[in-house]
Amino acid sequence: MKKYFIVLVIFISTTNLFGQTKRKLEPILWRISMGLNFGGTSPVPKPSQITKLYVWYPRVNPSFSLMGIQHFNETHKHGIGFALTIERKSFGATTQVKELPVNIEDERLFFSGNQNTTFDARYIGSMVFYNRNLSDRINIYSGFFMNLLLGADFLVKLDGDGVISEGNGDESSLNKGAIVKREFSKYVSPMDLGFVLGCDYFFTERIGVTFRFNAGLTNATKEKFYDLSGQNLHNLYGFLGLNYRFN
């Protein structure tokens, strides 16, 4: 329900912005951006069960955007933008956890030890944002994005040398000398909604660099994943790439 409310707010806000301007609209200015996402799909806030981060490693996450900006007057200082995006969001991390809730063979247990997590999701989506040109070379923008899931791979590997318990103090080895794999791909949410902040800098008339940060407001995983792990995950990624404007 929350995600549909956010979509409604975005739609109403955009409609009001266009409805309030009575001036003749300028032509839409088009640009494309290509680059890489970097970040992670992480629990927010950080769970107390995660006691140590050994390593975090990004993956090659290409992102492509086709963006249009509608300005309201000849000064081109204010405008509304929209974009179509195709992107990948993935990462890997190895952590140490203590008494992390897990379900193994349909039994509610707690795991203490090392684990490795890999998350890889591909999305097609859109953005709606307010754009402010600070100069001919610099503009900033903020708004919302909505992504639809194309496919995902989500795997957690538990070190068998770790221990499990029922929460009563009695502990036993999970699977000594082995790795226990837990597949969660089917629990990745089909829709991701969030906000975006961005900045473009053009070092020539048409070519520039762009940076934006996008944070998921809704969970990147389904409620069933929370039932299994006690964690809600959110996509927190930055984007860095090249920008080309046509007009």
Q: What is the pTM of this model?
A: 0.84
**Which residue's entry shows tokens 């990948």?**
88
Contact 188, 216 (CB under 8 A): no
Distance between CA 182 and CA 204 in Å, rounded? 49
Contact 70, 80 (CB under 8 A): yes
Q: What is the dihedral of CA 69, 124, 239, 68, to 10 degrees?
A: -10
Domain ranges of the chain: 2-245
**Which residue's entry shows tokens 């993956």?**
59
What is the pLDDT tens value at each position of the chain, 247 positions in all?
555 455 445 544 544 544 444 456 678 899 999 999 999 998 888 888 889 999 998 889 999 999 999 988 777 788 999 999 999 999 999 999 988 888 776 677 888 999 999 999 999 999 999 999 999 899 999 999 999 999 999 999 999 888 888 766 677 888 888 898 999 999 999 999 999 999 999 999 999 999 999 999 999 999 988 888 888 899 999 999 999 999 7
Distance between CA 218 and CA 41 in Å, rounded? 12
The CATH number, out of the four listed (3.50.50.60, 2.40.160.20, 3.40.50.2300, 1.10.630.10), of the domain defined by the range 2-245? 2.40.160.20
Contact 146, 193 (CB under 8 A): yes
